[in-house]
Structures are given as C-alpha cells and as structure tokens.
C-alpha cells in the first residue's frame, strides 16, 4: 500500500512540475498573506483549526510556500502540527479556481487525554491536493485534502483563507 501511495504522489508531482501556464505571474519570494485554516481529520477523528502564512513563489509561476500551524481536538487527544507545505499550482490563473498539489512536512505533538497525559512526538509527511481561487494576488480561498504518507492523520479536509496586501 505504501508503494502505491508513493507512486501516486510522484506521478502527481510530475504532472504539476510539467504544467505550463498561458497567464503566468511571478509573485516572487515575499510575504503575501496570512489567514486561518479550519477543517476535520479522520484517524484520528478531530476538529482542526489553525493558521498559515503565504511566502510567495519559490520558483516562477509554479510553487508556493506555506508555514502551517494546526491544532486538532477530539478522539481523546490533542494534536499540534507545526510544518510547512510546498505546493505546485497546475495553472496560474488568479481569477479562476486553480488546482494544486504537493506535500507537507510537519512536526506532530500528540497529547493523549485520560491516559496519564502521555505525549508523543512524530515527524509526519502528507500529500496535498487542493483547489484555490484568488480574489487578488493576496486574498485567497482554498479547499484541500491532505493524505497520510508517513505518521500523519489518514485524511484531513480543510478550508483555507488568505488575507494580504
């Protein structure tokens, strides 16, 4: 199963890296926006709330970098995730819904409630698939799905807002 997941991720990254854009823009590597994230995760079953900052494009017209902090509540535990998403836009059309994919590397701290307050730490890796609409170069709305590759929630569904200059 792990080999199939890795193969799927590599294929999606290859498709994203090969995508071209007829309306390319280069935002550059700079602070662009900040905003909340809210959603749910499954296995563990939790309500997830957090925030992220958008630091623009690492490479022209194809990637964007988001430091992410999330707290998951429920399923007899509290999970804190501190990480970064590296995402590849498949198109660069700011006024339309634009698909993206990539991954997240996160440091996970899990505090188990009612079990002697045990705490576990892990380094998690997730794949990310989403769609984003920009209302300007800094104000965005996105919906995304993260799926486990290594030591992360099996599935996480979130809505993401970005507010900037």
Average pLDDT taken over every residue of the chain: 83
The beta strand positions in 27-154, using DSSP E, are 33-42, 46-54, 63-74, 77-89, 98-112, 119-134, 140-150
d(CA 44, CA 42): 5
Residues 133, 139: Cα–Cα separation, whole Å: 9
Is the pTM higher than 0.75? yes
Indicate if the pLDDT at residue 11 is higher than 50: no
pLDDT at 8 over 70: no
Query: Which residues lie across from 117 on neighbouring strands?
Result: none
% of the chain with per-residue pLDDT over 90: 56
Q: What is the pLDDT of residue 115?
A: 64
Q: Which residue from 119, 123, 120 is spatially nearest to 103, judged by alpha carbons? A: 123
- Give pLDDT, residue 26: 64
Q: Per residue in 62-111, pLDDT tens?
A: 678 889 999 999 999 999 999 999 999 887 666 789 899 999 999 999 99
Closest by CA position to 66, among listed 5, 155, 126: 126
pLDDT beyond 60 at 140: yes
| 19, 55 contact by CB (below 8 A) | no
* pLDDT at residue 161, as a whole number: 95
Q: Which residues contact 1 (CB under 8 A, 6 or more apart)?
A: none
Confirm if 130 and 147 have CB atoms less than 8 A apart.
no
Could you tell me if 83 and 112 are in contact, meaning their C-beta atoms sit under 8 angstroms apart?
A: no
For the cut 80, the answer to whether the pLDDT of residue 149 exceeds it is yes
Beta-carbon count within 10 A of 120 CB: 12
């Amino acid at each position: 199963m792990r080999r199939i997941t890795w193969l799927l991720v590599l294929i999606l990254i290859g498709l994203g890296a090969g995508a071209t854009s007829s309306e390319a823009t280069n935002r550059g590597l700079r602070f662009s926006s900040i905003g909340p994230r809210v959603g749910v995760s499954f296995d563990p079953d939790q309500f997830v709330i957090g925030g992220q900052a958008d630091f623009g494009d690492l490479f022209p017209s194809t990637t964007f970098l988001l430091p992410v902090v999330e707290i998951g509540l429920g399923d007899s535990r509290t999970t804190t995730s501190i990480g970064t998403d590296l995402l590849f836009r498949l198109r660069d059309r700011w006024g339309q819904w634009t698909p993206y994919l990539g991954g997240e590397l996160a440091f996970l701290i899990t505090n188990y409630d009612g079990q002697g307050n045990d705490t576990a730490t892990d380094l998690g890796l997730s794949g990310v698939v989403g769609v984003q609409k920009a209302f300007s170069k800094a104000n965005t709305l996105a919906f995304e799905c993260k799926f486990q590759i290594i030591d992360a929630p099996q599935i996480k569904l979130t809505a993401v807002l970005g507010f900037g200059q």
